[in-house]
């Protein structure tokens, strides 16, 4: 079947291929080139290494077992690390889709310099919005995962003042050359540095034919260090279980749709083909064959009247407000900041049977990476098709995943 493919997603990553996928996966629509997509039929579902499935069906379906990527790295062998030469501090910012790259960069820098890594705090988007690492992540498992790889301490010694620490900007995809040229000279002078991670639009990592020890450290940091602390994990699990209970008619399977009203109202979404409102998502799901009893989870925290168009077509559409346990709402839903809400959305979208991004961006890219790595390859991206004669498959943007250096380093 010929289709218009206007946006091809380049990039891949994995269990937490989180931020790295920001520059590795992108959608691209072909305006004039017609191609036969491998495996696309009237009930399309293909899942092969290198291809993310596009599924047209009446409801979420079980994943095939052949789509899971296998790690081709091992945890670096534990070694006697010796006396640390200084310390590395940093903060996790902007939400869970950013955290994995910030962790990876800091661990790689600490390993390269022989420095002690200080457990980061977590900061929100507003001044004073600050919480401890252990409020969201399991600090003991984090430290255990890095045992013998880098020295880790929970807090920086009190005798080290702010004047003793130099701030150094580092890219999310940091390289050994960058550390040697821009970080090590400062570290040798000050001994204590604070990393400020930025996310360049261009991939600064050069493709290498040989793997180094730091490649394994990078993979470990990205995919083997962050786990939710028990209370947050319990909330996510209870919400997923609630959604599966509501999806009995489809064998407990449900869709997660990243649709946030506040994001749709921003300037970069106005008139953009990268953002889809509730009405457009409802029409999209109908056109590719989903029935009205499909269960849908929205990343919107509380119901908004603009979502009514979706609920009219799919009555079993829910937000966090309607499925979160009542005794957990005060802490995880009604708090002044939204950090917990971001984390809950990130993990539910990663663990749903089907993921539909209504908004393009890092959240979408890195949820896709985490899903791909765990074999959850049903990711449906709407396509703008104006032709009234378009077939159901034409309304799906197709994914073609191309391996790059980072994916090749961590997954086979």
The pLDDT score that the predictor gives to residue 245 is 95
- Judged by average pLDDT, the poorest of 153-162, 299-308, 322-331 is 153-162
* 291 has pLDDT over 70: yes
Q: Mean pLDDT over residues 4-23, rounded?
A: 39
Same domain, 201 and 292: no
Domain span holding position 367: 230-410
Q: Given the DSSP bridges, would you call strands 151-153 and 116-118 parallel, antiparallel or unpaired?
A: parallel
Name the residue with higher pLDDT: 54 or 378: 378
* 231 has pLDDT over 90: yes
Q: How many helices (H) and strands (E) does the chain have?
A: 14, 16
Rg, the chain, Cα only = 22
Output the CA torsion 207→212→217→219 (10° steps).
40
Q: How confident is the model at residue 43 (pLDDT cuts 50, 70, 90)?
A: very low
Q: What percent of the chain has pLDDT over 90?
A: 46
Q: Flag whether 396 is in a domain.
A: yes
In a 13 Å sphere around the CA of 412, the CA atoms on its Cβ side amount to 5
Same domain, 119 and 201: yes
Q: Mean pLDDT over residues 4-26, rounded?
A: 39
Same domain, 400 and 360: yes
Question: Based on the structure, what is the number of domains in the chain?
Answer: 2
Alpha helices in 158-317 (DSSP H): 176-178, 184-190, 213-223, 230-246, 261-264, 278-287, 308-313
Output the CA torsion 244→224→259→375 (10° steps).
-60
Q: Flag whether 123 is in a domain.
A: yes
To the nearest 10 degrees (0 to 180), the angle between helices 96-113 and 213-223 is 150
- Judged by average pLDDT, the poorest of 9-23, 74-88, 207-221 is 9-23
Kindly report, residue by residue over 367-396, the tens digit of the pLDDT: 887 887 777 888 898 876 555 555 555 555
* 412 has pLDDT over 70: no
Same domain, 393 and 249: yes
Q: How confident is the model at residue 165 (pLDDT cuts 50, 70, 90)?
A: very high
């Amino acid at each position: 079947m010929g289709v218009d493919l206007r946006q091809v997603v380049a990039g891949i990553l994995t269990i937490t291929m989180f931020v790295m996928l920001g520059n590795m996966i992108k959608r691209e629509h072909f305006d004039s080139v017609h191609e036969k997509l491998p495996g696309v039929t009237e009930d399309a579902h293909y899942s092969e290494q290198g291809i993310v499935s596009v599924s047209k069906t009446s409801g979420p379906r079980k994943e095939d077992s052949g789509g899971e990527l296998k790690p081709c790295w091992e945890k670096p062998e534990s070694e006697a690390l010796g006396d640390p030469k200084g310390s590395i501090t940093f903060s996790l910012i902007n939400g869970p889709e950013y955290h994995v790259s910030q962790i990876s960069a800091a661990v790689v820098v600490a390993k390269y310099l022989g420095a002690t890594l200080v457990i980061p705090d977590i900061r929100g988007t507003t001044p004073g919005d600050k919480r401890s690492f252990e409020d969201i992540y399991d600090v003991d498992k984090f430290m255990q995962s890095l045992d013998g790889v880098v020295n880790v301490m929970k807090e920086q010694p009190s005798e080290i003042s702010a004047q003793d620490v130099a701030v150094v900007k580092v890219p999310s995809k940091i390289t050994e050359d960058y550390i040697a040229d821009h970080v090590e000279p400062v570290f040798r002078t000050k001994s204590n540095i604070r990393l400020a991670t930025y996310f360049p639009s261009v991939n600064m990592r050069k493709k290498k034919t040989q793997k180094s020890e730091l490649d394994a450290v990078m993979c470990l940091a990205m995919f083997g260090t962050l786990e939710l602390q028990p209370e947050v994990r319990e909330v996510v699990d209870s919400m997923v279980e609630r959604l599966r209970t509501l999806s009995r008619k489809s064998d407990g399977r449900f869709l997660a749709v990243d649709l946030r009203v506040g994001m749709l109202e921003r300037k970069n979404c106005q008139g953009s083909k990268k953002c889809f409102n509730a009405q457009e998502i409802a029409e999209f799901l109908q056109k590719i064959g989903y029935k009205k009893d499909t269960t849908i989870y929205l990343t919107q925290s509380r119901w908004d009247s603009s979502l009514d168009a979706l609920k009219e077509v799919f009555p079993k559409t829910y937000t966090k407000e309607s499925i979160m346990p009542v005794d957990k709402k005060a802490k995880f839903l009604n708090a002044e900041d939204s950090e917990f809400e971001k984390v809950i959305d990130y993990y539910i979208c990663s663990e749903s049977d089907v993921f539909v991004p209504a908004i393009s961006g890092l959240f979408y890219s890195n949820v896709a990476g985490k899903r791909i790595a765990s074999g959850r390859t049903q990711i449906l991206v709407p396509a703008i098709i104006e032709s009234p004669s378009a077939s159901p498959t034409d309304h799906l943007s197709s994914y073609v995943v191309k391996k790059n250096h980072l994916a090749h380093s961590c997954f086979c």
